[in-house]
Structure 1
Amino acid sequence: MATPTRRHATVALAAFALALAAGAPAQAQGWPDKPLRIMVGASPGGGTDILARMLAEKFAAAFRQSVVVENRPGASNTIAADVAAHAPPDGNTLLLATNTGQAIAPHLLKLKFDPLKDLQPIGLVAVMPNVLVVSAASPYRSAKELVAAMADKPGQLKYASSGIGSTQHIAGEAFALATGTKAIHVPYKGSSQAHIDILGGEVTMMFDSTSSAMGQIRGGKFRPLAVMSERRAAELPDVPTLAEAGVKGADVQTWYGLYVTAGTPKAVVDALAAELAKVLKLPDVQARIKGLGGEVGALSGEAFAEMNRQEFERFRKLVRDANIKGEGL
């Protein structure tokens, strides 16, 4: 007769064999049975798109299904979120969202979905500080010089964002509020389009996320003046924080999280969360996120949901204090 230890080993081996037969990693039974899609509320080439395509590649290999990234830019990232919120709750439609759509836009736009109720958080993917950038050809070489120019020319300088209610927009308004200055907000449908006008001299500055701006910074086309975080970015060690540059109370970071349609079976949610956790531990993924100037996410499930709720309330206050007006409100 087999000993208890030997019986346990036999059961474990049998379970492992079944998992291999079903394909690693172990997945919810019958899922996914068709290609997955990751909705992105920004245009190709921006930070959200970069991270989404990275996840799509890893998920395709893990789940043995093709994973397509669908870009639906506009309306502060909420067009893509709306699609995900109203998709069948089968786990086949994912959303890579930022705090733009999940915590800011609800206070500025009339939405047909509730970001806190209609989307199920899977996990935090990354956090990127926003960085104040100007063209390399700009005459401004420090945040102090830029603030002085804004004070001398109230309401004349322009700053770009990836849309009304985006973190770039909020960061710009927080900067103006903290410095007592005014600038004209010029919204675009994505960071990549905004970059064109900054380089062309049509817009003075941008409070972009490092994930979107690092390529232009490394290429010598953007001059970073300050990062909008408590400490300096690891990839920009020579760039001061706003506080170091003399501007306090205007820290803004962009976070990226993975969601699925609310009501998706728990087994599928758990499978996605487990795989995301594995992906975020991969050396190449960690290197990619750090190379974008950010930090790898370390929250999943309820912890990430609670962070989303706290950010929702934080930005509600900032929008009110800065008297930021959205479309239709």
Structure 2
Amino acid sequence: MKLSFLARAASMAALALMAATAGAQPAYPDKPLRIMVGASPGGGTDILARVLADKFAPVLKQPVTVENRPGASNTIAGELTARAAADGTTLLLATNTAQAVAPHILKLKYDPLKDLQPIGLVAVMPNVLVVSASSPYKSVKDLVAAMGAKPGGFKYASSGIGSTQHVGGEAFNLATGMKSIHVPYKGSSQAHIDIIGGEVDMMFDSTSSAMGQIKAGKFRALAVSAPQRSPELPDVPTLAEQGIKGADVSTWYGLYVTAGTPRPAVERLNAELVRTLKLADVQTRIKALGGEPGTLTGEAFAAMNRQEFDHYGQLVRDANIKAE
């Protein structure tokens, strides 16, 4: 009986210790969060990241800051997130540029599919072919005719090597049989300056990034690079409507966290993302940028990321896109 009593006492003491230890563990999150962005301030990725930060902070009861690390096709921010502590405090708002295109072009020091944990799809935006408002080109037909008359004499801007703008430009070259020269920048906002100034001729930018310049009358939109017209640009025809097929490229935005982050933190972030994307003002903001809010679960988004990785790998090979 004595041994039995001692055994029971030891067991109860162990359970009490475990309960005390579990109760002492801080709830997530217990410190400030940051959202890494691989583009310059003012671009589409930056805009969406700041929307998420504003909505996350009051609910998570922690400051949420946006940290811009442009360059290397958005992969600098991706690598920093992949190498961060797996505690759920370093998030990444990435696009298919870094997650699906750049890995086929650049030598990365991390694996986007293994070193980053998908939280969910934030938004999908069609790309749009834009020129300066002062450009003489009023349609894709005008542009292609001018390109044919001056082979190799046209330049298109992008937010970096391996970006969806880069892929869109090369897909356009491939579909039209023309050749325009790629001019990469560290983010769309820097490229916009040279588009407006006439230093480069055109750009296949995401609507989220270009919409402000279009509405301000500084860009002329010639075509939407998607199967359907954008509700925000109803008068702008698609590339296919203008006889250019096989060149559609859209930009999607996804939220990620460092691989190995505890499951409760991943589930909390997914729940907050789902909640945020259902807010009327957030949906209005995304649609005003020409996009659609994401509706995929974390698992479905991870599967989509893998499919997009394979799709863009094939496109990179078909268009012979290489680091410059």
TM-score by length of 2: 0.92
Question: Could you say which residue in structure 1 is the equivalent of 2:138?
Answer: 141
The answer to whether residue 160 in structure 2 is matched with residue 163 in structure 1 is yes
The answer to whether residue 66 in structure 2 is matched with residue 73 in structure 1 is no
Q: Could you tell me how far apart the structure 2 residues matched to 1:309 and 1:298 are?
A: 17
Q: Secondary structure of 2:129's match? A: strand
Q: Could you tell me how far apart the structure 1 residues matched to 2:27 and 2:278 are?
A: 26
Question: Could you say which residue in structure 2 is the equivalent of 1:22?
Answer: none
Question: Could you say which residue in structure 1 is the equivalent of 2:247?
Answer: 250
Q: Could you tell me how far apart the structure 1 residues matched to 2:283 and 2:107 are?
A: 36
Deviation at 1:152, TM superposition (A): 1.3
Q: Secondary structure of 1:224's match? A: strand
TM-score by length of 1: 0.90
Q: Could you tell me how far apart the structure 2 residues matched to 1:204 and 1:300 are?
A: 39
Question: Could you say which residue in structure 2 is the equivalent of 1:14?
Answer: none
Question: Could you say which residue in structure 2 is the equivalent of 1:299?
Answer: 296
Question: Could you say which residue in structure 1 is the equivalent of 2:111?
Answer: 114
Question: Could you say which residue in structure 1 is the equivalent of 2:4?
Answer: none
Q: Which of 244, 263, 266 is the equivalent residue of 1:269?
A: 266
Q: Could you tell me how far apart the structure 1 residues matched to 2:154 and 2:77 are?
A: 31
Q: Which has the larger radius of gyration?
A: 2
What pairs up with 1:8-157 in 2 under 5 angstroms? Answer: 30-157=27-154
1:65-87 deviation line (CA, Å, top 9, x unaligned): 00010000000000000000010
Deviation at 1:293, TM superposition (A): 0.4
Deviation at 1:309, TM superposition (A): 0.3
Deviation at 1:154, TM superposition (A): 1.1
**Identical columns (%):** 76
Q: Could you tell me how far apart the structure 2 residues matched to 1:61 and 1:251 are?
A: 38
Q: Could you tell me how far apart the structure 2 residues matched to 1:82 and 1:147 are?
A: 38
Q: Could you tell me how far apart the structure 1 residues matched to 2:128 and 2:105 are?
A: 23
Q: Could you tell me how far apart the structure 2 residues matched to 1:224 and 1:29 are?
A: 51
Q: Which of 169, 178, 181 is the equivalent residue of 2:178?
A: 181
Question: Could you say which residue in structure 1 is the equivalent of 2:231?
Answer: 234
Deviation at 1:146, TM superposition (A): 0.6
Q: Could you tell me how far apart the structure 2 residues matched to 1:227 and 1:298 are?
A: 22
Deviation at 1:29, TM superposition (A): 5.3
Deviation at 1:211, TM superposition (A): 0.3
Deviation at 1:300, TM superposition (A): 2.1
Contiguous gaps of at least 5 residues in structure 1: 1-27
Contiguous gaps of at least 5 residues in structure 2: 1-24
Q: Could you tell me how far apart the structure 2 residues matched to 1:218 and 1:199 are?
A: 14
Q: Could you tell me how far apart the structure 2 residues matched to 1:187 and 1:196 are?
A: 13
Q: Could you tell me how far apart the structure 1 residues matched to 2:75 and 2:287 are?
A: 27
Q: Amino acid of the residue matched to residue 287 of structure 1?
A: T
Question: Could you say which residue in structure 1 is the equivalent of 2:285?
Answer: 288
Q: Which of 179, 191, 195 is the equivalent residue of 2:192?
A: 195
Runs of 4+ in structure 1 deviating by more than 2 angstroms, as ranges, are: none
Q: Could you tell me how far apart the structure 1 residues matched to 2:52 and 2:140 are?
A: 35
